[in-house]
Structure 1
Amino acid sequence: MIAYKPELLKKTVIKSVGVDVSVEANTSGRRSGLDVWFAPWRKRDGPVFQLKPVGLNRHLVTMKFGKSSGLCLMRIAGRNVEQTTFSEALLKSIKANADFEFKSLREDITSSLMWSAQVKGLGSQHADESLISTAKNVMVPMIAAMAELLGFEEIIEYEPEFEGAVTKKLVSVRERSPRNRLLALQLHGYECGTCGLKPLETFGEAFGGILEVHHIEPVSNLNEPRAYNPEIDLIPLCPNCHRMIHQINPPHTPDQLRTILNKQHA
């Protein structure tokens, strides 16, 4: 039963979104499910996400605001254009895996806002594989989108660069952002954008998660401001290609590295 697997869901969400969450079973309806909300908030103080089985072979994932979400909504009202753009890109990625529609986040967001997505054709509603799949493809992007609207900082673990490499360190932190990685993979697939390596197919589950995310044009290199578009500004790369792209400053573009690699293999 899904309701007995809160730790599995919690681990999946934290690893993918980069913020702490609380998870508990919800047995109030005819079918039990799991509720997720941002920690250390109380459940009623902000958005609550729920995953539960419906019908014979479906999952339903929803988001509703708690009864005391006033301060949360005030925080969302202060969002900027980049947060809104990134959040909408995350929500759009859900459509590839579920029946899902949402209103533009550029409009006023009130306590009546609700998101609802259905995943169909599951082999088993209660299997770990089904729960993880729905969590990664539907619930995680939904939670990540709301985390962006709220401006939550991410839990990012990284090894410090050598002393004095401040710029490189900042770039590394940004490019290891779990939400950026999530969106790049959702939009472009689990394949290196330059050499074409597919780690899951090549190495299996044990090393299939090695792809990293690269900002094609770092903000620091822009001559003039332009709108941030995650669909064209992010690309997944294998660690080797990511390192090669940063061998010079400013970095190679993916097209430049692709040309170099093609010449070497010609």
Structure 2
Amino acid sequence: MLAEKQALILKEVAEGTGAEIGLDSDRNGLQTGIRLWFADLERSRSPLVTLRPTGLHRFEARLTFGNFAAATIRQMQKAQEEEVQLARALVAAVAVNARVTITSGQILSNWLVDGGAFSIIAEKKAIDGRFGEEALVATCRELVIPILAAMAELYGYDPIEELQPPDQEALMEGAVRVQAVKRRERNPRNRLLCLRLHGSVCVICGFDPLVAYGDAGTIIEVHHLQPLSLTREPRPYDPSTDLVPLCPNCHRAVHTRRPVPWTPDDIRSRFRSDA
């Protein structure tokens, strides 16, 4: 049944993680599963997430590593504290909808990838119509994507949109600052986590694009309350307080003040619902 939905699963996971994803079938268990990995690493060198039906109304997503992933693991172990905290927050978000078990008795708040035997198992129960498209999309978003996104954050996938061409004006204004903002605003892992933590309603005006526009309403944007371009020293990163969802209008309003944007409270105090 899962094999028939490979295209759907591949699309969801690639968009959710911001990484190029490889996929094949896994027939090692009692029921055939789908195995996903970072395509540019090759399966044997990548973190692997296997999605498999279990019981009658369950899915299990299991993170393992390929047989030759030692170099990949070493790179992940060099991740900065901000990336580590974001990865942990992504996995913690899985526990909202599933039972999560981490290898060697590690816990959600301070786990580390400590070697090739490291694993994360997330099981979601009571899934009605689990092979239907709607249920599979939800399962990917709740189990597979956050786990692989956490690994992508540790490994260092940066979905940066390059400036083409890099003209002189952009260089004079500071291309590094612009690039950092682009990375953090466009990073699909930040978007995934922000919406998981705060929902899709703009924290300033209360507008919910999904309610207003349906399938065309995936336009909510992610705002960093502390501009990374102004951060001089590394600091602890708390996704629950550093990220907020804003509608495009409010997000643009926040950034009309530079270099320090308006706060959501600043804009909310100016907002007129009858305007």
Deviation at 1:160, TM superposition (A): 8.2
Q: Could you give the per-residue CA deviations for residues 143-192 of structure 1, whole angstroms, max 9, x where no partner exists?
A: 00011111122265889899535445642442121111111111111111
Q: How many Å separate the matches in 2 of 1:188 and 1:21?
A: 27
Structure 2 CA distance for partners of 1:118 and 1:201, relative to 1, 3 Å:
same
Q: How many Å separate the matches in 1 of 2:121 and 2:111?
A: 19
Q: Which residue of 2 aligns with 1:99?
A: 99
Judge conservation of contact 2:158–2:183 (CA < 8 Å) in 1: no
Q: Which residue of 1 aligns with 2:218?
A: 209
Q: Share of identical aligned residues, percent?
A: 35
Tell me, which stretches of 5 or more residues in structure 1 are unaligned?
Answer: none
Deviation at 1:33, TM superposition (A): 1.2
1:247 pairs with 2:256: yes
Q: Which residue of 2 aligns with 1:121?
A: 126
Q: Could you give the per-residue CA deviations for residues 174-230 of structure 1, whole angstroms, max 9, x where no partner exists?
A: 21211111111111111112111111111111x220011111111233466531211
Structure 2 CA distance for partners of 1:158 and 1:101, relative to 1, 3 Å:
farther
Q: What secondary structure does 1:130 align onto?
A: helix
Judge conservation of contact 2:160–2:183 (CA < 8 Å) in 1: no
Structure 2 CA distance for partners of 1:157 and 1:136, relative to 1, 3 Å:
farther
Structure 2 CA distance for partners of 1:225 and 1:169, relative to 1, 3 Å:
closer
Structure 2 CA distance for partners of 1:174 and 1:257, relative to 1, 3 Å:
same
Q: What secondary structure does 1:185 align onto?
A: helix
Moved more, 131-140 or 151-160: 151-160
Q: How many Å separate the matches in 1 of 2:66 and 2:47?
A: 6
Q: Could you give the per-residue CA deviations for residues 14-50 of structure 1, whole angstroms, max 9, x where no partner exists?
A: 1111011101111232201100011122222221101
For residue 143 of structure 2, the aligned residue among 135, 138, 145 is 138
Structure-to-structure mapping, 1:210-225, within 5 angstroms: 210-222=219-231, 225=234
Judge conservation of contact 2:52–2:61 (CA < 8 Å) in 1: yes
Q: How many Å separate the matches in 2 of 1:229 and 1:80?
A: 14
Q: Could you give the per-residue CA deviations for residues 36-93 of structure 1, whole angstroms, max 9, x where no partner exists?
A: 0111222222211011111111111110112222111211221221111110011111
Q: Which residue of 1 aligns with 2:186?
A: 176
Q: Which residue of 2 aligns with 1:24?
A: 24
Q: How many Å separate the matches in 1 of 2:267 and 2:59?
A: 42
Judge conservation of contact 1:64–1:115 (CA < 8 Å) in 2: yes
Say what the alpha-carbon RMSD is for the aligned residues: 2.3
1:191 pairs with 2:196: no
**What TM-score results when the alignment is normalised by the length of structure 1?**
0.91
Q: What secondary structure does 2:48 align onto?
A: strand
For residue 239 of structure 2, the aligned residue among 202, 210, 230 is 230
Whichever residue aligns with residue 217 of structure 1, its letter is Q
Count of equivalent residues = 264
Whichever residue aligns with residue 200 of structure 1, its letter is L
Structure 2 CA distance for partners of 1:238 and 1:161, relative to 1, 3 Å:
farther
Judge conservation of contact 2:223–2:246 (CA < 8 Å) in 1: yes
Q: How many Å separate the matches in 2 of 1:66 and 1:168?
A: 36
Whichever residue aligns with residue 203 of structure 1, its letter is Y
Moved more, 86-95 or 161-170: 161-170
Structure 2 CA distance for partners of 1:201 and 1:54, relative to 1, 3 Å:
same
Deviation at 1:101, TM superposition (A): 3.8
Structure 2 CA distance for partners of 1:155 and 1:50, relative to 1, 3 Å:
farther
Judge conservation of contact 1:156–1:173 (CA < 8 Å) in 2: yes
Whichever residue aligns with residue 56 of structure 1, its letter is L
